[in-house]
Amino acid sequence: MKVGFVGHPPNDIIEKYRSEELIDIDNDLGQVEENSDIYLPKISCSIIKRIFNNALAFRPQKIIFDVGEGKCDSGRFLSWILKEHFNMNIIETRNQNRKGRGTIICDSKLPLREKFDLILNNIIDNKDYELEREPHPRAGFWSVPCWDTGIFDLFPEGTRIFGWTRCFENGTPDDLEIECYVEKDIPTVFYAQTFCSKNLLAKNLARVYRGLYVDCDGRLTASVKAQIEAFLYLRGT
């Protein structure tokens, strides 16, 4: 049975379906038919559109949809729409876990792309890692998982991960304190998908920590790429 999930549902629910084919429908699952333009407003963020398109394309028998504060209102409404208008079998969850499992991957010496892969796959391919900590990261990246993963290649190895992705690795997706945790001496890029409410945090954290705030709707634009490159260069990264 195909079981989709959205966000970071509680571990005990995931464990119930561990033997099934788990699919993270937040993620890039390859080319699927684009239906979001018909059903969703243009101002929906790229991740919400992707969840919708993936849900329709893969039609999992069940979708475990985290609709708590660890996701967003758009996610909560989309969950309802998929259930009521598209007849999908939705299991709604609210992950309020506070027993953190740590942020070894976020703090490691690995390249950013590899870090994101490990963190996002860790629900399906659940493992404990032993990784060497990067004591002096040259850059920080505060973000949710990005629609365009090309952004990762702009950062040096060992870039420290902050924001919701850090909460995700820790298994505490609605922990605002961890989400807003940043180390002030690390030049940090604060990234949010366009139309995501996390832009409020990104812009203000960037202001306070003298970081670079960027938002991007889907594909990375030349100007966002140039801003990140210039920021890291001019901050001596």
Partner 1 sequence: MTVFADFGSTWSKIIDSSVKIIKTKEVPGEIIADFACGHNAEKRSNRYVNELIALSEGGLRLIDEKDFLLVDVGSRDIKYVLYRDGRFVETGWNQECGASQGFAIELLEMYYNIDCNRLELPENGYPVTCGLIGISRIFDEIIKTGDEENALAKFVKGIAMNVYHFTGKPEKMYLSGGLCENRLFIESIPCEVVPLGRFVLVEGLKEIYKKGFC
The yes or no reply on residue 227 touching partner 1 (CB under 8 A) is: yes
The yes or no reply on residue 233 touching partner 1 (CB under 8 A) is: yes
Q: Which is nearer to partner 1, 152 or 209 (CB)?
A: 209
Asked if residue 56 lies in contact with residue 86, where contact means CB atoms within 8 angstroms, the answer is yes
* Closest CB 205 distance from partner 1, rounded Å: 14
CA angle 143, 164, 221 (to 5 degrees): 20
The contact pattern for partner 1, residues 178-217, with x = CB under 8 A and - = no contact, is: --------------------------------x-x-----
The yes or no reply on residue 221 touching partner 1 (CB under 8 A) is: yes
The yes or no reply on residue 223 touching partner 1 (CB under 8 A) is: yes
By CB under 8 A, name the one of 176, 200, 208, 234 that touches partner 1. Answer: 234
The yes or no reply on residue 96 touching partner 1 (CB under 8 A) is: no
Asked if residue 141 lies in contact with residue 113, where contact means CB atoms within 8 angstroms, the answer is no
* Distance (Å, whole) CA 203 – CA 101: 28
Q: Site for partner 1 (CB under 8 A): how many residues?
A: 14
- Interface with partner 1 (CB under 8 A): 210, 212, 221-224, 226-227, 229-231, 233-235
